[in-house]
Amino acid sequence: MHFKTVAIIGRYQDSGLDAPLRRIAGMLTEAGRSVLIEHDTAHNTGITEFPVASYEDIARQADLAIVMGGDGTMLSAARVLAGSGIPMVGINHGRLGFITDIPVHNATDALKHVLLGNFNFEDRFLLEGRVVRNGETLFSGVALNDVVLNRAGRGGMIEVRVEYDDQFMYSQRADGLIISTPTGSTAYALSASGPIVHPALNAILLVPVAPQTLSNRPIVLPDTGTLSLTISTLSRVESGASVHFDMQTWSDCQAGDRIEVRRAQHAVRLVHPVGYSFFSTLRRKLHWNRMPQPSDEIE
């Protein structure tokens, strides 16, 4: 039997999420699986008829985690569960959803195929990083999508010295810099004109946000090295700068602080039903091959 114990994690802030979660839980029970409901999901949706589990319980007991929500819900769950090696499958109850790739209206049928063994695994690596000041680590975190250094508030641009494995790359004046995994290439990096990188590639993206010099372009680097971003003492950082590890934020960066980022030791294992295609997801989400509509014309 594939996946004897299945945990369900939901974006409990969504209204009406209890109904599709109950349908999935009921289907799993009928299929002979044990069901765990993540604690906050159960508390906020009122789904208490199944055993309630913390993330620690899920890491110890579950064979599969079903995550329903948007990509943000998957990012949060992935950071916590990556070290456990538990496979995760994403049900899209949000808007775009590149990681949560199964539409909610197809969830039950897709999961039935997964339980029958009609699935493939895909590993996505994470980034790990830290903020260092005078040799002391002030903050550390992991990210499945990206690590972002940006200016705080409405202050001037920040100036950053960028090194890769202690080799000087350039000094950059910009609103910020994005260090992204291939998974994150369809997130913030994409909106900053970064390239889409296939998730099977072992690479790290470095994408400037509104650089002062237009010749500063995104660059794709090997995932074997360490990127170091040092906020220059010449920067106009009176308003400060922030570092974001996905949705975790350190907002007290100062001139001289160094942000070190490398590939993390652990990876996230995603489960896709047979027939999943990364290119199909891109076509659907980015409207590739969509024929122009009369409403698209600009008067």
Fold of the CATH domain 5-118+274-294: Rossmann fold (3.40.50)
Q: Are 9 and 41 in contact (CB under 8 A)?
A: yes
pLDDT at 213: 86
At 212-235, the pLDDT tens digits run 888 889 999 999 999 999 998 544
Find the mean pLDDT for residues 62-76: 94
Catalytic residue, chosen from 71, 101, 146, 246, is 71
Find the mean pLDDT for residues 141-156: 88
Hey, do 5-118+274-294 and 126-265 end up sharing a CATH topology, with the first three levels equal?
no
Strand ranges (E), 18-118:
34-38, 52-53, 64-69, 88-92, 102-103
CA-atom Rg of the chain in angstroms:
21
Top CATH class of 126-265 equals mainly beta
pLDDT at 251: 87
pLDDT at 32 over 80: yes
CA triple 195-197-203, angle to 5 deg: 110
Find the mean pLDDT for residues 4-12: 93
Per-domain residue ranges for the chain? Answer: 5-118+274-294, 126-265
- What's the gap between Cα 175 and its chain centre? 22
- Burial of residue 296 (CB within 10 Å: 0-12, 13-18, 19+) is exposed
pLDDT at 294: 55
Q: What are phi and psi of 142, to 5 degrees?
A: -125, 160
CA torsion angle 114 115 117 121 (round to 10): 50
* Confidence grade of residue 291 (pLDDT, cut at 50, 70, 90): low
Instruction: Name beta bridge partners: 23.
Output: none
At 192-201, the pLDDT tens digits run 999 999 999 9
pLDDT at 274: 94
CA triple 33-36-40, angle to 5 deg: 155
Residue 71 annotated among the catalytic residues of the structure: yes
